[in-house]
Each structure stands twice: as C-alpha cells, then as structure tokens.
Amino acid sequence: MSDDTPRDNPIDTPPGPLSPENAVTTGSSASEEELDTDPDELPDHVAAQVLSAPATTPTGRRVPPLPRLIAVASQKGGVGKTTTSINLAAFLAELGHRVLVVDLDPQGNATTGLGFDRQSLEHDLYEVLMHDAPLMDVVRPTSVEGLFCAPSGTHLKDAELELVPAIGGEMRLRTAMAQAENEFDYVLIDCPPSFSLLTKNGLVAAKEVLIPVQCEYYALEGLVQLLDHVDEVRRYMNPALQVTTIVLVMYDGRTQLAQAVVEDVIQHFGDKVCRNKIPRTVKLAEAPSFGEPISVFAPSSRGAVAYKELAREVSGVA
Ligand SMILES: Nc1ncnc2c1ncn2[C@@H]1O[C@H](COP(=O)(O)OP(=O)(O)OP(=O)(O)O)[C@@H](O)[C@H]1O
Ligand SMILES: [Mg+2]
C-alpha cells in the first residue's frame, strides 16, 4: 500500500476549539425531514442511488438530499478549489448524476480545465449575472457524460465591479439557479480566492460549503475568517447555508507535517472532514492543461482513485 492510499482517520475525535461558535453553528446537520427525500420523484439512476445510500457517510456525516448546491470556497489562493470542483464533479457524473460546474472565478480555470477556450465562448456567466440571461442558455456539455459547465468568459472580471452598485448584486446567481437547479443533481460552484461579490454570489446561491484544506503548514490560517464570512452570509442572506465538507488536499503521507495537519483539521472539524484525502500528484497538476478532468486524463492514477473515492463518500455511496 502506498503512503497516500486512503486510510482510516481517527475521525471520531470531537471538534476542537478553532472557533467553537463557528464550527458548531455553520455545521449543524440536515434535519431528518430534509433527508426524507422521496426516491420515486427522482430519475431512476438517482433514485437507485438514494435508495442504496446510507443516511450517513462511513464517518457518520449526514448526506443532504438532492439537488445539492455546493460552493467550493476559500479566500486562500491555490488551495485546490478548482481541481476539487472539476474532478469531484467528473466522478459524481460517472456515478450517474447530472452535475454542473459553475465557474464563478474570473481566472476561468474551471472553464479551461474542462476543455473550453475562453476567448471563443459565445455565452458565459457574465451575461447571467449582469444581463439576466437564463443560466441554461450558457450551460455547455463537457466531454464527460452528465457533466456540464457554466463557463467564465473574459468579461467576468468586469462583473466584480459592476455588481457593486447593482440592485440585488449578491443575489444574481441564486436567482438564476432557481430556474435551473432541478436540471441537476449536483451544482459545484468554483469560487474565486477572495471575499468578493462573486464569492458572495456563490455562497448565497449554495446550500453547502466545501472547503479544500491543503495539508501544509498554515493550513488552518484564514479558516476562522472564512467561517466568519460564511456565518455572516448565513445570518443575513442564506439561512440554509452550512459548511458540510472539508477535503484534505495535496496530501503527502511521507511527511509528519501532513499527518499533523490532518489531525489538527479533524480535531477542529470532526466528521465534516472527508476520510478520503487527495494526494499531491503530477497527473492532477497536468490534467487541466489538457482540458480534461483526471477521470479522462489518467483514470487509473492515484489522483483519479482518490477523487473517485471522494465522490462516493460525498454522495454517500456505501
Ligand atoms: N492534489 C494535487 N496535486 C498536485 N497538484 C495540485 C493538486 N491540487 C491542485 N494542484 C495544482 O495546484 C495549483 C492550484 O490548484 P487549484 O487551481 O485547484 O487551486 P485554487 O484554489 O482553485 O486556486 P485559485 O485560488 O487561484 O482559484 C494548480 O496548478 C493545480 O494544478
Ligand atoms: Mg481556482
């Protein structure tokens, strides 16, 4: 077994004191009622999965009902938001779900990473946010069956400023998604590395927050601010918002530091931390330059196996 093979974590460790009020209030579990989704109402492939899915993950974490609207967020740059959005989405699609990646980042890395040329996009998210274009008008299929992208074009950076004086500037994505969310089982919103109005749009539109945490020194730095920000959005704009999922990324099991970070994160976040850690691998770093998720680029690589297992864990497949 290699060092980065997913291992059992001491996941039962009670949450620690990083920020008790945040850790607790942003993480309350979905209610029994919410989880009581009627599978007959769902497409066959999803119904089968709901029926076979446990109410909790192997770590005891509850699995919210579909559709799941998940903002992948961290104000820290380069922590694996886009890599996790693309590859988790691809494997959720492989499990038979209809999955949308919303590229809310003006850098457009999710868009290019899913194979689109940003310069030649006819329609993109800017039109949705600034000109009330229906979301489904900009959604494009990707090379992966069941995986779709709402791309970020070259004008999205203008939206950051233009949204400031706009009426309901923080609500634009939420309004657009309300017309489209039943088209998908999962919507992953790849947020930019800031607390900008674009990120706020993502948090207001989502029901869940997934935070990738790099297994490196300073891993927990900035998390208190992020949790505070989520808390604020929840209090004033989106009462349904919860931090449900922490994904440990760029894990190198050979270092004691990585193991120490894992233990620290588990101590603070308890069962929100996914058991499957994502290793640091060259193939995961290379895949975006080929415009392919790891499920297509290197399906049997360590990185692919890790994201595949993560998709099963996040979706509650036993
Ligand atoms: N598990 C991994 N192994 C190796 N490289 C990785 C891994 N995850 C991400 N990377 C690389 O690290 C860099 C940052 O990752 P990514 O773009 O996903 O982060 P991000 O949080 O979306 O960044 P930004 O804040 O700029 O949007 C990229 O070059 C990516 O290819
Ligand atoms: Mg990114």
Amino acid 62: pLDDT: 78
Amino acid 59: pLDDT: 53
Which ligand 1 atom sits nearest the alpha carbon of residue 105? Answer: 27
CA of 104 to the centre of ligand 2 (A): 9
For residues 106-115, average pLDDT: 98
Measure the CA–CA gap between 109 and 105, rounded to whole angstroms. Answer: 7
Amino acid 216: pLDDT: 86
Q: pLDDT tens digits for 175-229?
A: 999 988 789 999 999 999 999 999 999 999 999 999 999 998 888 888 999 999 9
Q: Which amino acid is at 117?
A: D
CATH number of the domain that residue 176 is part of: 3.40.50.300
Which residues on neighbouring strands pair with residue 102, listed in sequence order? 150, 189
Which is it for the CA torsion 182, 184, 185, 186, positive or negative?
A: negative
For residues 255-284, average pLDDT: 94
> Model pTM?
0.84
Q: Is 60 in the pocket of ligand 1 (CB under 6 A)?
A: no
Q: Which ligand is nearest to the CA of 290?
A: 1
Amino acid 73: pLDDT: 98
Look up the domain containing 78 and give its range: 20-315
Q: Which ligand is nearest to the CA of 83?
A: 1
CA of 293 to the centre of ligand 2 (A): 14
Tell the residue nearest (CA) to atom 8 of ligand 1.
Answer: 80
The neighbour count for residue 13, using CB atoms within 10 Å, is 15
Q: Is residue 244 part of a domain?
A: yes
Q: Is residue 6 part of a domain?
A: no
Q: Please give the order of strands across the beta sheet that includes 186-190.
A: 140-141, 147-150, 99-103, 186-190, 68-72, 208-214, 242-249
Amino acid 217: pLDDT: 82
Amino acid 92: pLDDT: 98
Q: Is residue 174 part of a domain?
A: yes
For residues 64-91, average pLDDT: 96
Taking all residues of the chain, what is their mean pLDDT, rounded to a whole number?
A: 84
For residues 232-244, average pLDDT: 97
For residues 33-43, average pLDDT: 37
Q: Is residue 308 part of a domain?
A: yes
Q: How many separate domains does the chain show?
A: 1
Percent of the chain's residues with pLDDT above 90: 71
Tell the residue nearest (CA) to atom 15 of ligand 1.
Answer: 80
Q: Is residue 4 part of a domain?
A: no
Give the least confident one: 17-21, 50-54, 288-292. Answer: 17-21
Q: Is residue 219 part of a domain?
A: yes
Amino acid 28: pLDDT: 32
Q: Is residue 36 part of a domain?
A: yes
Token pair recorded at residue 206:
């989502």
Tell the residue nearest (CA) to atom 16 of ligand 1.
Answer: 80
Q: Are strands 186-190 and 208-214 parallel, antiparallel or unpaired?
A: unpaired
Q: Is residue 126 part of a domain?
A: yes
Q: pLDDT tens digits for 299-317?
A: 999 999 999 999 999 999 8
